[in-house]
A and B are shown apart, each in its own frame.
Chain A
């Protein structure tokens, strides 16, 4: 990796449909300059799980090569951050409480540190790797919930709730080793996929200048990530292993078509004048699908196609809505909802989200990024660009904690836990 003044960051996302690699420079104010971009179809990834490691590694190498050629730099000289998600990652909420037996007391930084220490999640055994995640909120008397440390406030108790990210070690090792093979060493940092999203879409805030909160949803091919960003930090996040491939699979089953055909139908939804909200216009509309090389075609009803896709995404949004309600988290999404990922490109997806969430919905874009317009304006590019910014964030923290640990040695603690 290059020296401090020239640190370049790489974000790698191995998605269900596409592997994306972004090589960027990230300034101290977190402005991103995209230097190189590569993408390659994953093909052998289902619901975020790699099914053919060798094949996916080849595809990853292709995407990396593209990005390296464009950036004129080898990623082994950069700070590499890899996103990890899917069913082998879970979130665990833990509390830490300090009670003042003598009555109401002024809360100090020491009280907060004590409560935070109590809230640290301990893995049940060596099969788990824990990222201590983030602090969700502070609770004071009368159930008052605060997002910032309540130093100076009076209360009879202080409760802190943290959310830890728990990875299954075996899966994490296998996943990270795919990148390790390529760069002849481990990635420098690993991020749970939803965690990268706010780094891409929002300005990095300090406590003094909070902005509006948003629920940000990344609709991928196999996995949908969501994160509720309060303007000061993350309040909750998660993943549902349902994505556009599920809609394509529903269509394939319903119309007895090959999955590649229905994936194409979904990709071409706009050109086919279809939308995720069924048009109840009483017209008989059909899509002619070529079934075989002899040219025989099958006409399928557009109404039915739209209905099948609508039901799938309506349910997906509904499930996310229920999760946010369960966490009592809507109060923090003052700005509404943002959607991104390949699924956000499906016509009328915003309207559908608005129908379910009953809040304003917009398409999320990358914040303060310069570079190829087709990439920086794409709602599908948020994760790799967010990973690059997350990498810078980790690098800065590590350098602050270990100023002597110069370039090439900085690794986040998850990588250290993997004994690499």
Chain B
């Protein structure tokens, strides 16, 4: 039987409460990949590009925003009833930069929380002016978005074998980009087995101007857990110096194939926890991924804030190295840890006062029972 991707998604889009918006060619390609390869009910794809490019995408079920005309009203309509937005963009050309700036402004004005995944072009391949424009835009986006995840092209292409032809290399890079976003988005947009819901994402991204990096790994077979953690630790985004800010919190999403047993899943979570230093506030969750034929996939959104000082390198401590005496380590293994000298981000339990025992008042993904000043970061 032919697999009709559009038909498969038709019903799930009716209940979608999250948007994944691709801006420009790079962003749109990643969004189409997410929609086709990852089957995440509840996540509605939107493509925003110039008209000529837009209609080159053969994916009928995505909504389209034509950047050649005044499009902001169309985008506002897309945002109605939406609780979260993921915006994907490669800051290459002028029109992507202009469009993503406006998009971030509209999303912010509509009070819809959003995370921007920005693919930064390699400075070696673009001019100094373009690089400066991309960096300025990134700064502006960080001010508007609830969180921004930066994926430098240089790092992305470390995931690709140098012997691949150019077309395949770019396709693979898009797949990695898509996998990072899909891994993070899945438990929030679709049914999952742990008590993961949008509030977890809200918890992570509520710190305005936070910078996040992503890591992910896959594993299958009898050593699926170890294999996934290995590839997770080797994830180039984690190793990259660009993302090497002091970590204060991490949201770890364990996606498992339907046949994975609860024992395996819990063992995987325990192993993942051991990877992180105790001082990093960790939120683990499990999601069943029907698109995963076997094994597990780990995706993690790692948060640092601009209020903490950047550190030299996100360290991967391996056995045999001299441990830092100030940071007690668990037995064996490797750890993602806070840097020395980092300001401590005191992650307090959110105080809801008299509403702590009540069903939260949700509006556009925000819990209105939380004090307004606290949600606005004032």
Contact = CB atoms under 8 A, between A and B. Distances in A.
A46 B373 CA distance: 21
A346 to B, nearest CB: 15
A224 B72 CA distance: 30
B361 A241 contact: yes
Interface string B345-378: 0000001111100110101000011011110101
Contact of A322 (B111, B359, B373): B111
Contact of A250 (B359, B361, B363, B372): B372
A242 B353 contact: no
Query: Which among B110, B359, B373, B378 has the highest number of chain A CB atoms within 10 Å?
Result: B373
Interface string B325-356: 00000000000000000000000000111110
Contacts of B110: 322
Nearest to A263: B354
Contact of A47 (B80, B111, B355, B374): B355
A378 interface: no
A410 to B, nearest CB: 35
A361 to B, nearest CB: 21
A311 B363 contact: no
Contacts of A127: none
Interface stretch (A147-155, A178-186, A207-215, A252-260): A252-260
Interface in A38-88: 46-47, 49, 87
Nearest to B81: A326
Contacts of B80: 326
Interface in A111-138: none
Nearest to B110: A322
B355 to A, nearest CB: 6
A318 to B, nearest CB: 8
A357 to B, nearest CB: 16
Contacts of A240: 361, 363, 368
Q: Interface size bucket, A side?
A: 20 to 34
B363 A319 contact: yes
Interface in A82-102: 87
Interface in A300-342: 307-308, 311-312, 314-315, 318-319, 322, 326
Contact of B353 (A241, A253, A314, A319): A253
B173 to A, nearest CB: 38
Contacts of B376: 311
A159 to B, nearest CB: 19
A319 B374 CA distance: 17
A362 interface: no
The SS class assigned to the A binding surface is helix
A245 interface: yes
Nearest to B360: A241
Interface string B105-118: 00000110000000
A318 B351 CA distance: 24
Interface string A349-374: 00000000000000000000000000
Interface residues of B, number: 20
A311 B358 contact: no
B358 A253 contact: no
A87 B359 contact: yes
Contacts of A318: 111
A249 interface: yes
A311 B372 contact: yes
B361 A259 contact: no
B361 A242 contact: yes
Contact of B373 (A47, A245, A250, A326): A250
A327 to B, nearest CB: 10
Nearest to B359: A87
A314 B359 CA distance: 23
B353 A312 contact: no
Interface in A160-175: none
B372 A315 contact: yes
Interface in B251-292: none
Given A46-B358, A322-B110, A326-B80, A249 B353 contact: yes
Given A322-B110, A322-B111, A46 B372 contact: no
Q: Which of B110, B363, B371 has the most CB of A within 10 A?
A: B371
A250 B352 CA distance: 9
A246 interface: yes
A47 B110 CA distance: 25
Instruction: Name the residue in A46, A240, A315 with the highest tally of chain B Cβ atoms < 10 Å from its Cβ.
Output: A315
Contacts of B358: 46-47, 49
A273 B373 CA distance: 22
Contacts of B352: 249
Closest 3 CB pairs of A and B: A250-B371, A311-B372, A249-B353
Given A47-B355, A49-B358, 8 more contacts: A87-B359, A242-B368, A246-B355, A249-B354, A249-B369, A250-B372, A318-B111, A319-B111
20 contacts: A46-B355, A46-B358, A47-B361, A49-B358, A87-B359, A240-B363, A241-B368, A246-B369, A249-B355, A249-B369, A252-B353, A253-B374, A254-B371, A259-B353, A308-B372, A311-B372, A318-B111, A319-B111, A322-B110, A326-B80
